[in-house]
Amino acid sequence: MSATGGSYLFNRVREHERARLAGLSAQFDPVTIRHLAAVGVAAGWHCLEVGAGAGSIARWLAAAAGSTGRVVATNLDTQFLDDLPSPPVEVVRHDITGDPIEQDAFDLVHARAVLEHLPSRVEIVTRLLTALRPGGVLVLEDIVFGAALLSVLGKIVSPASKEAAFSRVIPAMAAGFRAAGGRTRVRSGTSRGARGGRPA
């Protein structure tokens, strides 16, 4: 994830973080890949993956963009990104809240489970938009906490027998995010760059 250390909610011990990221990937990669395929990620695209975690989506982007594409995978902690194919993937240690960001460089900018950790969301989204080429696509995904999530737990929790336990964890996580300055009402979505259209 790309957030300053003081706002990050989870334990950074290597084995704990690897397990958490693996769970996040297992739970959400199919949905993320469906979103990215729907916006047309294809050979030759230049993609920025913000908060790349363990690299599962950066790896998918690399396969989709191919040898003529480019994937920049960023994170505050890049320890789980060593096995990504290079090229087309470039791994960069980066703090999205303050480090420089390439301008007008990407057909796609994607971040998942990043904004929920950050108090300065509007500024971050503005920065991400500047990284897009004309016609580029911004895809942001975060968890929606509260009643909206609790109402669909039966569809997303596996095995279903864990639904009751998960329903107790969600309010505690939401409280933790709020205490750390994060937001707990961010929805998934996509946005075109300011000038619209498809990347060439």
What CATH number belongs to 5-191?
3.40.50.150
Question: For 51-69, how does the pLDDT look when each residue is reduced to its tens digit (9 = 90+)?
Answer: 999 999 999 999 999 999 9
Q: C-alpha 194: how far from its chain's center?
A: 21
Domain boundaries, given as residue ranges, for the chain: 5-191
Q: Output the pLDDT for position 6.
A: 46
Mean pLDDT of 73-89: 92
Q: Are 128 and 122 in contact (CB under 8 A)?
A: no
- The span from the CA of 21 to the CA of 187, in Å, is 20
Question: For 111-124, how does the pLDDT look when each residue is reduced to its tens digit (9 = 90+)?
Answer: 998 887 787 888 99
Residue 184 CB contacts under 8 Å (≥ 6 apart), including other chains: 116, 143, 145, 146, 174, 177, 178
Mean pLDDT of 63-92: 94
Choose the weakest-confidence range: 82-86, 133-137, 161-165: 161-165
Choose the weakest-confidence range: 70-74, 127-131, 160-164, 174-178: 174-178
Q: Output the pLDDT for position 127.
A: 94
